[in-house]
């Protein structure tokens, strides 16, 4: 028997948790949330230590995606952890709460997302967060996501922070300042020492609402589309098929991989690709699955002359720019272990991680077959543009300048990565291609815009299909210059506002 709701939300990750909580605030509407993963995960998922996230990769709460071989990284097939549980990737990430420089939001509007600039997004970014004591001009005080004072810095963490200042980078009081640049202490989504996912903050406190239904272990196979209108979704739960109907709207919030995959399986996407797989074309939208990109990440590592003090610590991060006249395009973080390439392990030491915040390389998500259970082809096209490699080399040199600063002289031993093998630009570029991987921030595959390649309009409605919207990281025309979770919270807050107002005004 089909069940009917006013709103059906597909995907219970960061965006889906926000949407379900906000839309169900109206007791006169009914809301169903479908999540492919479980309702809860292993005990380590609640650990407030960011390093614990590594133990969740490859677990039961991870989709365990892999990329296609990447020509820009020596044909490496990269693992791509994405959360498969209520809370989605906010349940398995490093818990960093960082929005990015205002310029990276303003870039959306310049790329055709009319009305999606920093000033328009700011009220919704603020609505999500409880940053008590922050500047009330741009920090939310009473939102669901708790921003606690981080623990004190260990001596090595403090010296890593100070080394960035020694190298000429300014101190930054708040990394979420709209014009943030320089070194700052990272904020975490941690409450009382435990991870706070979007599900923890938004969804779990309201599960008792009679107008909210949450269905877990329910993998959506395709959307139900009749006469140009999306009226629901078909899913499988424990091997049994099910269907939910939406009287008002279906909202896809399955992420930068899941949302385009579901659209494609439903016949919404590049027409020729769909026909080759035998999928009837419901709406010819060539941009579905295109524009995939992610922050490429690499690092340098050093041994230490003395053992660091163990225990919890705040972590320094840095916004920097490779061009004096440009916007910040490098995001760095500092950690008190010597990491091995591509998260293969860690030794005693320290590392400086650097990610390209504004990559130009673009890839895609495509179907591997018409079988909904088959994983899609994920091609982030890492470092396919030479400009990206050149800026990563500049970031490596910037990181070395910091590592060689006086503040680290009591700690610094030999450089273990990349070491003496990477001196020239060519050698540094080769090291980056050999070791760079995901920063876990994929976006862009259902982007906002008005051109032929855009997937959703400024009100997040899918072009050419009534009753269907997308609200998650996939709608970003370009990635923000930071970890993406805070921006996705803001997108979902704004989406809930738009969906709840029939005229779909942007404010």
* Dihedral over alpha carbons 93, 291, 124, 89 (to 10 degrees): -20
Task: Give yes or no for a contact between 189 and 202, defined as CB atoms under 8 angstroms apart.
Answer: no
Question: Is there a catalytic annotation at residue 441?
Answer: yes
| Chain centre distance of CA 309 | 31
**Could you give the count of Cα atoms lying within 13 Å of 15 in the half-sphere of its Cβ?**
29
Hey, how many other C-beta atoms are within 10 angstroms of the C-beta on 426? 10
Selecting among 78, 295, 441, 463, the annotated active-site residue is 441
Q: Could you write out the DSSP letters of every residue in 238-291?
A: TTEEEEEEEEEEEEE-SHHHHHHHHHHHTTEE-HHHHHHTTPPPSEE-TTTTEE
Hey, how many other C-beta atoms are within 10 angstroms of the C-beta on 406? 12
Alpha carbons 418 and 431: distance in angstroms, whole number:
7
422 Cβ contact list (under 8 Å, min separation 6) = 396, 428, 430, 431
Q: What SS3 state is found at 341? A: helix
Q: Could you write out the DSSP letters of every residue in 398-435?
A: HHHHHHTSGGGTTTEEEEEESGGG--SHHHHHHHHHHH
Query: Two tokens at 419?
Result: 């070491």
Task: Give yes or no for a contact between 440 and 473, defined as CB atoms under 8 angstroms apart.
Answer: no
Active-site residues: which are they? 441
């Amino acid at each position: 028997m089909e069940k009917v709701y006013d709103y059906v939300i597909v995907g219970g990750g960061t965006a889906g948790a926000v949407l379900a909580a906000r839309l169900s605030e109206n007791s006169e509407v009914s809301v169903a949330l479908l999540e492919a993963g479980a309702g809860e995960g292993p005990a380590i998922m609640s650990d407030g230590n960011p390093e614990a996230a590594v133990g969740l990769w490859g677990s039961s709460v991870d989709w365990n995606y892999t990329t296609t071989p990447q020509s820009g990284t020596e044909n490496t097939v990269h693992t791509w952890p994405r959360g498969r549980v209520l809370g989605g990737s906010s349940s398995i990430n490093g818990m960093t709460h960082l929005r990015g420089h205002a310029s990276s939001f303003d870039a959306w509007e310049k790329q055709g997302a009319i009305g999606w600039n920093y000033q328009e997004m700011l009220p919704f970014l603020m609505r999500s967060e409880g940053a008590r004591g922050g500047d009330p001009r741009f920090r939310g005080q009473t939102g669901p996501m708790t921003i606690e004072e981080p623990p004190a810095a260990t001596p090595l963490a403090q010296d890593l922070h100070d080394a960035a200042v020694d190298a000429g980078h300014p101190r930054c009081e708040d990394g979420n300042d709209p014009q943030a640049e320089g070194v700052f202490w990272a904020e975490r989504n941690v409450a009382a020492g435990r991870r706070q996912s979007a599900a923890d903050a938004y969804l779990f406190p309201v599960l008792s609402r009679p107008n909210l239904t949450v269905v877990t272990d329910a993998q959506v196979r395709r959307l139900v589309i009749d006469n140009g209108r999306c009226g629901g979704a078909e899913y499988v739960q424990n091997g049994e098929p099910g269907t939910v109907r939406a009287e008002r709207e279906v909202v896809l919030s399955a992420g930068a991989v899941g949302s385009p995959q579901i659209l494609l399986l439903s016949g919404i996407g590049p027409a020729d690709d769909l026909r080759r797989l035998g999928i009837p074309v419901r709406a010819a939208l060539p941009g579905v699955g295109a524009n995939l990109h992610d922050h490429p990440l690499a690092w340098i590592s050093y041994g230490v002359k003395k053992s660091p003090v163990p225990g919890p610590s705040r972590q320094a991060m840095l916004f920097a720019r490779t061009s004096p006249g440009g916007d910040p395009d490098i995001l760095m973080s500092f950690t008190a272990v010597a990491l091995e390439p591509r998260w293969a392990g860690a030794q005693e030491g320290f590392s400086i991680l650097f990610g390209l915040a504004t990559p130009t390389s673009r890839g895609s998500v495509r179907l591997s077959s018409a079988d909904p259970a088959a994983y899609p082809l994920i091609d982030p096209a890492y470092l396919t543009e030479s400009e990206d490699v050149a800026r990563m080399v500049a970031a490596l040199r910037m990181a070395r300048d910091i590592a060689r600063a006086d503040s680290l002289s009591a700690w610094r031993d030999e450089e273990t990565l990349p070491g003496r093998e990477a001196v020239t630009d060519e050698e540094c570029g080769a090291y980056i291609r050999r070791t760079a991987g995901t920063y876990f921030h994929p976006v862009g595959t259902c982007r906002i815009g008005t051109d032929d390649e855009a997937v959703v309009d400024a009100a997040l409605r899918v072009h050419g299909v009534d009753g269907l919207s997308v609200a998650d990281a996939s709608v970003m025309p370009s990635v923000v210059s930071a970890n993406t979770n805070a921006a996705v919270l803001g997108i979902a807050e704004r989406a809930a506002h738009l969906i709840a107002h029939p005229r779909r005004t942007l404010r």
